[in-house]
């Protein structure tokens, strides 16, 4: 009678142990797959980097979206964040908007400069004690709240006036962007230097129509799309 060599019968207890371990591993694998596909416990992807993103951010050539966004393009979250809660009273005139902005600015030792009325909001320039443009705010016409303007004032204001892009360069960059994205419609008007960026009024046939900003460190462009139609303005 021949005899099998090199093999041994597996003890019954060990076989059951192997089966239990295999079952546990299988259940764990299925559970991990379900968690991953559900999206509820998957680790977030690493953040991407770049010069800017989000609606309203124009980069150096892209047309803007319809709402403010979170583009960076250099700089950091503004050094002059301004806020004043609304009182539920409509703001209808430039004088009323200036008064609301002045109240919000006083807490930071700032004063109001140019005020512009648009169909969606009031834009107010704020200045420091030396008369230098420092930040920009919006006044809500419905309830009178005051807040740092979307976009450049919120995201590009470094608090420093160091710049690698001059005012003349910013003007040329803005003019080139308008020729590419709004050909024959708008031209560059006033250029004002804020900490970390420039804000530039745009005109059509000599009439103000809107504004845009150029980053003072990178030259990135951000067109202000959140104002609506221009109505009137008043310089301080």
Per-residue pLDDT 10s for the chain (236 aa) are: 444 344 444 455 544 444 544 454 444 443 333 333 333 222 322 222 223 333 344 444 333 333 343 344 444 454 578 999 999 999 999 999 999 999 999 999 999 999 999 999 999 999 999 999 999 999 999 999 999 999 999 999 999 999 999 999 999 999 999 999 999 889 999 999 999 999 999 999 999 999 999 999 999 999 999 999 999 999 97
* Residue 55 and residue 64 in contact, taking contact as beta carbons nearer than 8 Å: yes
Structure tokens at 53: 């993103």
Q: What's the Cα-to-Cα distance from 9 to each of 2, 6, 105, 191, rounded to whole Å?
A: 17, 10, 87, 90
- Phi first, then psi: what are they for 19, rounded to 5°? -65, -40
What is d(CA 30, CA 195) in angstroms, rounded to the nearest whole number?
Answer: 54
DSSP classification of residue 6: S
């Amino acid at each position: 009678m021949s005899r099998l060599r090199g093999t041994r019968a597996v003890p019954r207890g060990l076989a059951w142990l192997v089966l239990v371990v295999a079952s546990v591993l299988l259940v764990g694998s299925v559970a991990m797959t379900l968690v991953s596909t559900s999206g509820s416990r998957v680790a977030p992807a690493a953040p991407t980097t770049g010069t800017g993103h989000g609606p309203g951010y124009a980069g150096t050539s892209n047309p803007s979206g319809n709402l403010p966004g979170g583009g960076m393009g250099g700089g950091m979250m503004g050094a002059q964040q301004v806020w004043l809660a609304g009182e539920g009273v409509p703001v209808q005139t430039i004088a009323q908007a200036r008064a609301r902005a002045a109240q919000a600015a006083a807490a930071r030792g700032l004063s109001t400069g140019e005020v512009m009325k648009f169909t969606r909001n009031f834009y107010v320039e704020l200045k420091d004690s030396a008369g230098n443009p420092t930040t920009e705010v919006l006044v809500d016409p419905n309830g009178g709240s005051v807040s740092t303007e979307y976009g450049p004032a919120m995201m590009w204001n470094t608090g420093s006036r160091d710049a690698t892009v001059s005012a003349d360069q910013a003007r040329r960059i803005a003019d080139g962007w308008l020729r590419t994205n709004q050909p024959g419609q708008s031209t560059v008007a006033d250029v004002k230097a804020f900490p970390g960026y420039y804000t530039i009024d745009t005109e059509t046939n000599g009439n103000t129509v809107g504004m845009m900003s150029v980053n003072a460190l990178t030259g990135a462009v951000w067109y202000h799309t959140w104002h609506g139609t221009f109505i009137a303005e008043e310089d301080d």
